[in-house]
Copies of this chain bind each other. A is one copy, B any other.
Amino acid sequence: MTEWEQMNDAALQEHYAALARRYEEFQARKLRLNMARGIPCPEQLDLSSGIMDCLGEADYKAADGTDCRNYGGVDGIPEARELFAQVLEASPQEVIMGGNSSLTLMYDLLVRAMLRGLPAGDLPWGKLPQVKFICPSPGYDRHFAICEYLGIKMIPVNYRHDGPDMARVEQLVAADSSIKGILCVPKYSNPTGVTYADAVVEHLAALPAKAKDFRIFWDNAYTVHHLTDTPPRLLNILEACKKAGHPDRVFVFCSTSKISFAGAGLAAMAGSEANINWLKKQISIQTIGPDKLNQLRHVRFFKDRAGIEAHMRRHAAIIKPKFALVQEILAAELRGKNLAAWSNPQGGYFINVNTLPGCAGKAVAKAAAAGVMLTPAGVTFPYGEDPEDKNIRLAPTFPPLAELKQAMELFALCIQLVGAEQELGQRGFRPGN
């Protein structure tokens, strides 16, 4: 029950008027804040400054003698594959390096599946009457955009506290051979913050999929992005798939976009050796190889997984106060009012908010009208359609604390304003705002 369901009409109207006045004060400040995307702040990028000049002019040789300035190496230099094998919990033979974007690796792989098919499949997906993917939702809008672009029909499946609703996932994939994949952000999921439980990972690996080329696209974007010293452990999906007798089922993606530089990092993939060998041949049609000097820079700078983990603690020191501030403001403004529920994630880049049904779009629009750009409501669902219009993704890492404070106070106000408007509307009033 919301706080004002107990108010009489006059009290509610007075309450609403007070909220509206506060909102007008915000508008008068003429804010111009953007919290739409999960991007690192300059102080986080400064942590990796050393990457920019860590290669001397004569430091261009990989461990195997490869001149990293020249052509070649479609799979990456050995020491980069070794570094990412540590991050991805795979063997170096199960790793292939990409360019600066894991999104591109995923897009390119899906394109190959559409145009040429995957090893286990009979036909390129593009030759089938329909290809469907399971999309745990809310999820990552750029994943959904790729599927929409490629004409892959998305089937949303709800999140539970421990991952996607696996009973529903199994029911779907066991019955329909046109379901070819599932898109997962398994750790500190974007935006829910959920880390998949062991049982969920094992269930995914063992799913009795009707499509023999059913694949798990495992975007482990936040694998080392902890906000706590006791991070949850994600089960190794490569191992789980091997144990379940489906070694080729999973493709794992990661990047250093939120470790080193968002615009100039490294992406990598892991999969079974069979998958990686197949991929190498496929990729060699598209490129002679990714930027090996950038691989060398990253290896020189981070050295090994321990180096990355130490670096991520420095990231956490910068962004933890921002996540804490959001919690503080949401609690101060909204706790006990039953207008919204929100996550308190142990890692990743987002705080997930669920408003009352029908309120997310209006709240985001109100924030925008007062100068704070949030992630557009709806985009966390396939086709931009949040069935209950209640999910909002907050991305607190980029703004300085002072701006974040203003933005969050405005956001909490917008939630209350929209909630009050809804209650007034249900009582037959039309708020003037």
Q: Check: A73 CB closer than 8 A to any chain B CB.
A: yes
A259 shortest CB reach to chain B, Å: 12
* Interface pair B52/A56, CB less than 8 Å apart: yes
* Interface pair A100/B99, CB less than 8 Å apart: yes
A193 shortest CB reach to chain B, Å: 21
Taken together as a complex, chains A and B put the C-alpha atoms of A42 and B66 apart, in Å, by: 11
* Interface pair A69/B48, CB less than 8 Å apart: yes
* Interface pair A73/B288, CB less than 8 Å apart: no
Identify which of B50, B100, B126, B291 contacts A263 (C-beta below 8 A): B291
Q: Check: A53 CB closer than 8 A to any chain B CB.
A: yes
Q: Check: A171 CB closer than 8 A to any chain B CB.
A: no
Identify which of B60, B146, B285, B291 contacts A52 (C-beta below 8 A): B60
Taken together as a complex, chains A and B put the C-alpha atoms of A287 and B69 apart, in Å, by: 24
Q: Check: A14 CB closer than 8 A to any chain B CB.
A: no
* Interface pair A115/B107, CB less than 8 Å apart: no
* Interface pair B45/A67, CB less than 8 Å apart: yes
* Interface pair B50/A52, CB less than 8 Å apart: no
Copies in the complex: 2
Q: Check: A236 CB closer than 8 A to any chain B CB.
A: no
Which label, helix, strand, loop or mixed, suits the secondary structure of the A interface? loop
Which interface class (under 10, 10 to 19, 20 to 34, 35 or more) fits A? 35 or more
* Interface pair A101/B287, CB less than 8 Å apart: yes
Q: Check: A117 CB closer than 8 A to any chain B CB.
A: no
Q: Check: A64 CB closer than 8 A to any chain B CB.
A: no
* Interface pair A53/B49, CB less than 8 Å apart: no
Identify which of B103, B107, B126, B261 contacts A126 (C-beta below 8 A): B126
* Interface pair B45/A53, CB less than 8 Å apart: no
Q: Check: A145 CB closer than 8 A to any chain B CB.
A: yes
Q: Given A100-B99, A104-B286 in contact, is the A68-B264 Cβ separation under 8 Å? A: yes
Q: Check: A278 CB closer than 8 A to any chain B CB.
A: no
Inter-chain contacts of A116 with B (CB < 8 A) = 149
Q: Check: A18 CB closer than 8 A to any chain B CB.
A: no
Inter-chain contacts of A59 with B (CB < 8 A) = 52
Within 8 A of B (CB), among A281-298: 285-294
Within 8 A of B (CB), among A53-96: 53, 55-60, 67-73
Q: Given A53-B53, A291-B294, A294-B294 in contact, is the A263-B70 Cβ separation under 8 Å? A: yes
* Interface pair A115/B104, CB less than 8 Å apart: no
Q: Given A146-B285, A286-B107, A287-B104 in contact, is the A263-B72 Cβ separation under 8 Å? A: yes
| Closest residue of B by beta carbon distance from A111 | B111
* Interface pair A111/B115, CB less than 8 Å apart: yes
* Interface pair B291/A69, CB less than 8 Å apart: no
Inter-chain contacts of A71 with B (CB < 8 A) = 37, 39, 257, 262-263
Q: Check: A186 CB closer than 8 A to any chain B CB.
A: no
Encode contact with B along A291-332: 1 for CB under 8 Å, 0 otherwise.
111100000000000000000000000000000000000000
Q: A263-B288, A294-B294 provided; 20 other pairs, C-beta below 8 A?
A: A42-B70, A52-B57, A52-B60, A69-B261, A70-B261, A71-B262, A73-B263, A99-B100, A100-B291, A101-B287, A107-B287, A108-B286, A111-B111, A116-B149, A145-B285, A261-B293, A262-B288, A263-B293, A264-B292, A291-B291
A–B pairs, 18, beta carbons within 8 Å: A49-B58, A52-B60, A67-B263, A68-B264, A69-B263, A69-B264, A99-B99, A99-B100, A101-B287, A101-B288, A103-B287, A104-B287, A107-B287, A114-B115, A146-B285, A263-B291, A264-B292, A264-B294
- B-binding residues in A (CB < 8 A): 37, 39-40, 42, 45, 48-50, 52-53, 55-60, 67-73, 99-101, 103-104, 107-108, 111, 114-116, 126, 142, 145-146, 149-150, 257, 261-264, 285-294
